A and B are shown apart, each in its own frame.
Chain A
Amino acid sequence: MIKTPNLDKLASEGVRFTNAYCTSASCAASRSVILTGKFGHATGSYGHTHDYHHFSTFDTIQSLPVMLEKAGYYTARIGKYHLAPESVYHFMEVLPADPRSTFEMAEKCKDVLNAEKPFFLYFCTDDPHRGAPFESDPWYLPNNFGNKPEGYPDVNTVKYDPKDVIVPSFLPDTKECREELAEYYQSCSRIDQGFGKLMAMLQASGKAENTIVIYISDNGIAFPGAKTTVYEPGIKLPCIIKDPMVQPKGLVNNALISWVDLTPTILDMTGVKSTENFHGRSFKNIIGEENPAGWDEIFASHTFHEITMYYPMRVVRSKNYKLIFNTAYRLEYPFASDLWASSTWQSIYRNKVAVYGKRKVQDYLFHPEFELFDLAADPDEIHNLASDKSYKAVLDSMQEKLKTFQRSTFDPWYIMWNHESVMQGTGVGL
């Protein structure tokens, strides 16, 4: 439905992953994982970096751009950053740009594409994030998702009719939601055109056959039920990789991979060695396979979005089941500012509608300590099986997996498994 011919072309020339996951559906926290190969709970990257949120990655962490620079790569970034501190996420070149003006962004990368050294270009759009201000006036108007009446230089504005959009099952099929999805689609088409321009420039530089192109997102779509949640719409993301060395073209890869795997994979692709103990692993050698063995489980770890949004969740997701451990289940589920203000949510909240998509609003606002879903039978993650005795063996097994994951990745929230420990904190060695 959304017109993204350039992304379609990338998929036809590369590999599209159908089970690619971020580990935290929150911008800054997710980006830290992308560039470190480590879960945010182990690096201090618990939530947003900007303004008073002020989360920051430990100074001792080595990031991907720093490791590549040390190995002789020319590193440059353009657009959204949302990482801290700069010393950890240092790039040799920072290209100034309006991160919504995707075509212009691409044009500014010309010197990078023609660099003498091998380059690492980190290209981050603001699209299709919701546009500021998040509150519409009146409330029922859609957010603009960065779209402007006058458009952007050299971008062909692609508009969509709300009646034509496809409403995913986790969203309410309302006028407000459809109007917002139409704006979101328009923003996605703008990304596509900037991406197309970048690819055309890469081709013109003569380096296309020696350049690996990776297209991903930081987290899911900015609607309640997706972004900031660990439900599938929040963490299951696009991932297309074109590696000119990999055959066949147009492949669909069903391996379960996550963003902790990206840094080890890129280092592997570039032949750069590292002594870091990554939480992820390289999937370089299975890119060209459809259903590679041993890639059937991912973990997620979300702690904060905004500073006031304390809601740590730990997740193990296998081929068939997903277990969510809501460590702060006694709290009401917090909304990101942009999601709360959305006309999609406000139409439900103001009109006291009891159901949002397929989920009861009450269930969205109050989560139990454990949520266990059979994803094959219940892809919308509505029927919690955690207290169903016939699934006790599955629950026990997945709880053990989560504990092992938390212990092995030095998760401070591991103490949440023992209520007495929670009361004591981590500093008491009783």
Chain B
Amino acid sequence: MKLISWLSYSTALISLAGCHSKTEKSIKDTRPNVILFVADDHGTDALVR
């Protein structure tokens, strides 16, 4: 009986952890992406004015 209770308790905990993990995954990280494009020896003379 004790074993069954323990198994139920463990199963419940695993399920809760699973829900928590799914919740975390479903929160989308909306922070902006950044592209830093660096040319080599490009002066302002070549740039749109």
Residues of the A chain whose Cβ atoms lie less than 8 Å from the Cβ of B33: 118-121, 207, 210-212
Residues of the A chain whose Cβ atoms lie less than 8 Å from the Cβ of B35: 121, 123, 198, 202, 211-214
| Residues of chain A in range 192-238 having any CB-CB distance to chain B below 8 Å | 195, 198, 202, 207, 210-222, 226-227, 233, 236-238
Q: Does A221 contact B42, Cβ atoms closer than 8 Å?
A: yes
Q: How far is the CA of A234 from the CA of B39 in the complex (A)?
A: 14
Q: Does B38 contact A233, Cβ atoms closer than 8 Å?
A: no
Answer yes or no: B48 CB below 8 A from chain A CBs. yes
Q: Does B40 contact A4, Cβ atoms closer than 8 Å?
A: no
Chain A residue nearest to B43 in the complex (CB) = A221
| Residues of chain B in range 1-49 having any CB-CB distance to chain A below 8 Å | 29-48
The answer to whether residues A215 and B40 also contact, given A4-B48, A11-B48 and a CB cut-off of 8 A, is no
Residues of the A chain whose Cβ atoms lie less than 8 Å from the Cβ of B42: 127-128, 188, 191, 217, 221, 237-238
Name the one of A213, A227, A244 contacting B37, with C-beta atoms under 8 angstroms. Answer: A213
Residues of the A chain whose Cβ atoms lie less than 8 Å from the Cβ of B29: 72, 117-118
Residues of the B chain whose Cβ atoms lie less than 8 Å from the Cβ of A31: 38
Q: How far is the CA of A216 from the CA of B32 in the complex (A)?
A: 19
Q: How far is the CA of A262 from the CA of B40 in the complex (A)?
A: 17
Nearest CB in chain A: distance from B39 CB, A: 5
Q: Does A270 contact B31, Cβ atoms closer than 8 Å?
A: yes
Name the one of A72, A118, A191, A243 contacting B39, with C-beta atoms under 8 angstroms. Answer: A191
Q: Does B43 contact A217, Cβ atoms closer than 8 Å?
A: yes
Q: Does B45 contact A166, Cβ atoms closer than 8 Å?
A: yes
Is chain A's binding surface mostly helix, strand, loop or mixed? Answer: mixed
Residues of the B chain whose Cβ atoms lie less than 8 Å from the Cβ of A214: 34-37
Interface size on A, residues (CB 8 A): 65
Can you name 17 A-B residue pairings with CB atoms under 8 Å? A4-B47, A80-B40, A118-B30, A120-B33, A124-B40, A128-B41, A184-B46, A188-B39, A191-B39, A212-B35, A214-B36, A215-B39, A217-B41, A219-B41, A221-B41, A221-B46, A271-B31
Chain B residue nearest to A99 in the complex (CB) = B40
Answer yes or no: A185 CB below 8 A from chain B CBs. yes
Answer yes or no: A322 CB below 8 A from chain B CBs. no
Chain A residue nearest to B45 in the complex (CB) = A168
Q: Does B46 contact A216, Cβ atoms closer than 8 Å?
A: no
* Count of inter-chain pairs, beta carbons less than 8 A: 147
Q: Does B40 contact A218, Cβ atoms closer than 8 Å?
A: yes
Q: Does A123 contact B43, Cβ atoms closer than 8 Å?
A: no
Q: How far is the CA of A159 from the CA of B34 in the complex (A)?
A: 32
Nearest CB in chain A: distance from B49 CB, A: 9
Q: How far is the CA of A227 from the CA of B31 in the complex (A)?
A: 36
Q: Does B41 contact A34, Cβ atoms closer than 8 Å?
A: no
Nearest CB in chain B: distance from A132 CB, A: 13
Q: Does B39 contact A128, Cβ atoms closer than 8 Å?
A: yes
Answer yes or no: A269 CB below 8 A from chain B CBs. yes
Residues of the A chain whose Cβ atoms lie less than 8 Å from the Cβ of B34: 68, 119-121, 211-212, 214, 266, 269-270
Nearest CB in chain A: distance from B24 CB, A: 12
Q: Does B32 contact A125, Cβ atoms closer than 8 Å?
A: no
Answer yes or no: A67 CB below 8 A from chain B CBs. no
Answer yes or no: A38 CB below 8 A from chain B CBs. no
Answer yes or no: A126 CB below 8 A from chain B CBs. yes
Chain B residue nearest to A2 in the complex (CB) = B46
Residues of the B chain whose Cβ atoms lie less than 8 Å from the Cβ of A238: 39, 42-44, 46-47
Q: Does B38 contact A118, Cβ atoms closer than 8 Å?
A: no
Q: How far is the CA of A243 from the CA of B33 in the complex (A)?
A: 10
The answer to whether residues A16 and B39 also contact, given A121-B34, A211-B32, A212-B34 and a CB cut-off of 8 A, is no
Name the one of A117, A123, A218, A221 contacting B45, with C-beta atoms under 8 angstroms. Answer: A221
Extra A-B contacts (18), CB below 8 Å, given A202-B35, A212-B32, A216-B39 = A68-B34, A80-B40, A120-B33, A121-B34, A122-B36, A123-B35, A123-B38, A125-B38, A128-B46, A198-B35, A210-B30, A217-B39, A219-B41, A221-B43, A222-B41, A233-B44, A238-B47, A269-B32
Residues of the B chain whose Cβ atoms lie less than 8 Å from the Cβ of A266: 34, 36
Answer yes or no: A7 CB below 8 A from chain B CBs. yes
Q: Does A227 contact B39, Cβ atoms closer than 8 Å?
A: no
